[in-house]
Amino acid sequence: GQQLNQSPQSMFIQEGEDVSMNCTSSSIFNTWLWYKQEPGEGPVLLIALYKAGELTSNGRLTAQFGITRKDSFLNISASIPSDVGIYFCAGQPGQNFVFGPGTRLSVLP
């Protein structure tokens, strides 16, 4: 089946630092979604991307749909403690979404 890879698997950063994470696939995707999940909660949608090359921001978050349609990245600027969580990318090769394994972000005060 479809496989997504996310890197890094986990990261520890200082509060105030910028963060960058990415998601890659061997297949072309029509849509990329980025989610954040906190313990015991469902994934919360952060950003949706629909076109190759698209760059979209949501507050301190910025995400881009790669030109090849096989990757996407998410940047978080000026991280704060509440950014802690697992960030998942989800790609839509057809009708349904497949999820990456996630990037676990820890923010140190």
* Interface residues toward other proteins, by CB under 8 A: 1, 30-31, 33, 35, 40-45, 48, 50, 88, 90, 92, 95-102
Q: Which is nearer to other proteins, 17 or 99 (CB)?
A: 99
Measured between alpha carbons, how far apart are the two ends of the chain, in Å? 40
Most distant CA pair in the chain, distance: 41
Q: Which is nearer to other proteins, 16 or 58 (CB)?
A: 58
Cis peptide before 8 (omega within 30 of 0): yes
Q: How is residue 82 annotated by DSSP? A: G
Q: Which is nearer to other proteins, 17 or 48 (CB)?
A: 48
For the CB of residue 15, give the shortest distance to other proteins in the complex, in Å.
26
For the CB of residue 101, give the shortest distance to other proteins in the complex, in Å.
5
For the CB of residue 43, give the shortest distance to other proteins in the complex, in Å.
5
How far is the C-alpha of 33 from the C-alpha of 45, rounded, in Å?
A: 7
How far is the C-alpha of 52 from the C-alpha of 13, rounded, in Å?
A: 30
